[in-house]
Structure 1
Amino acid sequence: MNLQNGFLLSFIKYGENDAVLHCFTEEEGFQSYFLKGIYSKKNKKKALLQPLNQLSFSVYPSRGNSISSVSRFELVKNNDIYTDVKINTIIFFISDFLSHVLKYENKNTPIYSSIEDFIHQLTHKNYQAHLLFLLDVLKIQGVAPLMGEGSFLDPETGTFSLQISHQLFNEEISTLWKEALYADDFYATKVRSSLRKDFLDSILIYYHYHITDFKTPASLEIIQQIFE
C-alpha cells in the first residue's frame, strides 16, 4: 500500500455502490483508482467527491491489467468554495479541461503546483483565474507564444507578427496575451468583462493548434453563459 496526494478531476459511478476516480497525483501524474462502496447508504465520504478537491489516498497497487484500488481517502485541505455559483462553474470547467489535457501526463510538479495556486485564487474570489491558469499550463508545457515586437498573435505559429492572421486575435486580444504571459504576477492581470468571452475563445483556439487531440470542454457553453 502507498500514499498518494492528488486532485480529483472526474469520477464515474460503477455498479450500485462503487466508483472509478480519475486524479492528477503529485508523485505519479494522471491515475485512475477504483473506490469500493463509496455510494453505499452509510458512507458519508461521497460528499468529498467534488471536482478539484485535493485528496490523500491509501492505494493498493494494481495486479495485471486492473487499476489500483483505494482503501481509504481523506480531504487534504477544506476549501469552502463550492457554494459560490460562479466558482463552482469555473471548477467544473477546469476539471473537465484537465481531464483531457492531463490524461497521459506523468509526474509533473510544476503543473501540480499550478493547480494548487489556481485553487488558492478561487478561494479569494478571483473570477478570471481560469483564463490565466490556462495560459500557465501552456507555459509549463513549453508551447506558450514566443515574445515578439508584432502586435498580432498568430495562433498557428505561436509568434507575434505585424499582420493579423486570425480574426479573433486582434490587437486588443493579442495585447492581453502579452500582458498576461509576461507579467510578474500573471494572476493580477485584469481581463475586462467585455473581453472575457473572446479571450477564452482565443485560448481554446490556441490549444487546438498546440495540444495534440485537444477537445473543447463540454462545459464551455455553461461558463460562457454564467459570465455574460
Structure 2
Amino acid sequence: MLINTRAIVIQSIRYSEADLIVKCFTESSGLKSYLCRNILKSKKGKLKASMFQVLTQLDLVANHKDKGTLENIREAKVNPPYQEIPVDVYKSSIALFLAEVLRNSIQEEEKNEALFQFLEQSFSSLDQTAHFANFHLWFLVKLTQYVGFYPNTSTLEAPFFNLLDGDFQLSETNKYCISNSNTYLLKQFLELPASESFQLKLNKTQRKNFLEMMLLYYELHLQGFRKPKSLEILQQIF
C-alpha cells in the first residue's frame, strides 16, 4: 500500500556497501524500518543519505506491505530542515542521545499521533531554542507520558518519589524512594514547558545526578531498556 506520512528518523544503519536500513517513527503507522538501496553510492537517486540523520523530520511516500519486513521509501523530503542540530556539537550530541533513548523506549508498531506530535514539536523546539542545556532532562520527563509511566501528579506535594510505582508519597516504602534535590527537580520539570526549562539553574553534578535517576526510572519501567552508549559523551559536554 502506498502511504503518504510524516516521519522522524530514529536510527540509520549501513547495510552492505551501499545500502542503509532506516528506522523511523511515522505518524501513520508507528515504527517502520526501511531499506534504502544503493543510497551511499548513487548520486542521481531521489534519496540522499544526508536525509536520514537521526531526528530528521521527513515527508515520506512509502510502500508499506505491513508484513514485518523492511519497507520501501519512494520519495522523501526533509521538512522542516533543521538549522542548528546538524552543525551545533551540543545539539547534535543531545540528538544522538535522545534518538538512542527512543530506540530503547518506543516499542509500538502502531499509530500514535499524540507521541508523534510531541516528538515533532520537541525536536523543532530544540533546533530553534538558544537555551537547551536542560532540554534532554525535560524531554525524558515528558516522554514518560507517552510510553506508559508518567508520574502520578495527584500527590505532587508529598516529599518522596517512588521510582518503582511512579508515585509521590508521604513516606519511604522501598529502596527506590527518594527525597532529595532530584525529587524537587522532577516536580519542576513536570510543570514546566520546554521553553521555560532553562530557568532551572543547574550545575554539571545536578544534571548528571538527575539524568542518572531518570535513566533508572526508565530501566525500572521498560523491559530491556539499556543506558544509551552516547551517555558518556553527553555528560562530558554538559
TM-score in same-fold range (> 0.5): yes
**1:49 correspondence with 2:52:** yes
| Matched ranges for 1:154-193 at <5 A | 154-163=162-171, 166=175, 169-183=178-192, 185=193, 187-189=195-197, 190-193=200-203
Question: Closer, same or farther in 2 for the Cα pair 1:105/1:195, shift >3 Å?
Answer: farther
| Matched ranges for 1:111-122 at <5 A | 111-122=115-126
Q: What amino acid does structure 2 have at the position aligned with 1:77?
A: P
Equivalent position SS for 2:224: coil
Quote how far apart the aligned CAs of 1:212 are: 2.3
Cα offsets for 1:155-192 (capped at 9, x unmatched): 11212233455589342110111121134x35413251
User: Greater shift after overlay, 156-165 or 19-28?
Assistant: 156-165
Among 134, 137, 141, the residue aligned to 2:140: 134
Question: Closer, same or farther in 2 for the Cα pair 1:219/1:63, shift >3 Å?
Answer: closer
Q: 2:152 maps to what in 1?
A: 146
Q: What amino acid does structure 1 have at the position aligned with 2:102?
A: L
Q: TM-score, normalised by structure 2?
A: 0.86
Partner Cα distance (1:65, 1:115) in 2: 24
Aligned residues: 226
Q: What amino acid does structure 2 have at the position aligned with 1:161?
A: Q
Question: Closer, same or farther in 2 for the Cα pair 1:132/1:187, shift >3 Å?
Answer: farther
Question: Closer, same or farther in 2 for the Cα pair 1:191/1:33, shift >3 Å?
Answer: farther
* Structure 1: 5+ residue stretches without partners: none
Quote how far apart the aligned CAs of 1:9 are: 0.6
Partner Cα distance (1:24, 1:158) in 2: 26
Preserved CA contact (<8 Å) 2:8 2:120 = no
Preserved CA contact (<8 Å) 1:208 1:215 = yes
* Identity level (%): 27
Among 210, 213, 219, the residue aligned to 1:208: 219
Q: TM-score, normalised by structure 1?
A: 0.89
Quote how far apart the aligned CAs of 1:151 are: 1.1
Partner Cα distance (1:207, 1:192) in 2: 22
Calculate the aligned-residue CA RMSD, in Å: 2.2
Preserved CA contact (<8 Å) 2:9 2:53 = yes
Cα offsets for 1:19-50 (capped at 9, x unmatched): 11100001101100111121015257222221
* Structure 2: 5+ residue stretches without partners: none
Q: What amino acid does structure 1 have at the position aligned with 2:73?
A: V
Question: Closer, same or farther in 2 for the Cα pair 1:212/1:191, shift >3 Å?
Answer: farther
User: Greater shift after overlay, 25-34 or 147-156?
Assistant: 147-156
